[in-house]
Every structure is written in structure tokens, then in C-alpha cells.
Amino acid sequence: SMMVSTQSTGILFKDIMPIFNDPDLVRDTCQSLVDKISAFGKPDVIVGIEARGFLIGPIMAQQLKVPFVPIRKKGKLPRDCYSVKYEKEYGFDEFDMQVDALKEGDKVVIVDDLLATGGTLEAAKMLCDKIKAEVFAHCVIFELEFLKGRDKLKDPVISLVKYD
């Protein structure tokens, strides 16, 4: 089975790693997301969230022929960064994005592996907002619909696999 669930502190983790055993499946998964994005527009940039957004984001950016921009946990990126603090299921965390990573008006799609409560994607959007980039979609492989993360996000959510 592609999906493996593990319990940890009451949080359900969906494991995307088996996808990466199959290069064709990796390409096809990313291409499926790219195809769905086209219904909403053409991004100037793909923004990926550490860490699993780094696994699919650069591939999607390559397929779209656009740059990839990373959002990282606080203190990992060189040079000046915008920072945003956000609440997670188990406390607080902080994200950074380099101040020159995006330009005002850039059309952005934010990529991560999973939509749960939406806190992580919401924080990523807040960083894009600081630069006045336009987030027009959030893009994930898995969506845990019962956590209603989609309701928290103002922008369309693209997901391949939904769990209710």
C-alpha cells in the first residue's frame, strides 16, 4: 500500500515516502498537481514548505518552468528573512523566507505534502503576503478533510487524495 499511517502524540501522519521508490510515480504525482493548477492560472513561482514540500515543489517548478522558493524553519536560511510565528498541533513554530525571494505581484502556488489543520499553509501565505505576492492556490498530495484545514485558507486548495 502507498499509505502508511503512524500514531505519534495523537497526530495522524500520512507517509509519502513510498511514492519516492518509483520515479514514474513521482513524476506523475507532480504532473497531476501541475495539471490541476492550470485550472486556476499559471504561477510565476512555486513556494515549497520545509521539509516535504521540498520533495515535490522543485519537480513541479521544473515541470512548470518556473523558479522554486523555499520556506524554512527559523534560522536555516542565509541573508535577510521575513519571519512568521504560527501555532501547530503541539505548540508554536516559526517560518522564514528570504526578503528577496519573491517580487510584489508574483503569482504563487504554495506546495506541501499534506493539508491537516491548515496552520502551516496559512503561515506560508502570511510570508508571501509580506512581499505582496499573490497566492492563488495551495497544493498538497493528501488532505485530511475531517480537520477542515481548507476552511481556514482563503485560497483554493488542490489535493490529490482526500481522507474524510
* 72 carries an active-site annotation: no
Q: Which residues contact 26 (CB under 8 A, 6 or more apart)?
A: 19, 20, 56, 59
Query: Which is nearest to 156 in space by CA: 139, 142, 133?
Result: 139
3-state helix, strand, coil in the chain (%, to 5): 30, 35, 30
* 122 carries an active-site annotation: no
Please tell me which residue in 87, 89, 94, 145 is annotated as part of the active site: 89
For residue 49, count CB atoms less than 10 angstroms from its CB and return exposed for 0-12, middle for 13-18, buried for 19 or more. Answer: buried
> Mind telling me the catalytic residues?
52, 89
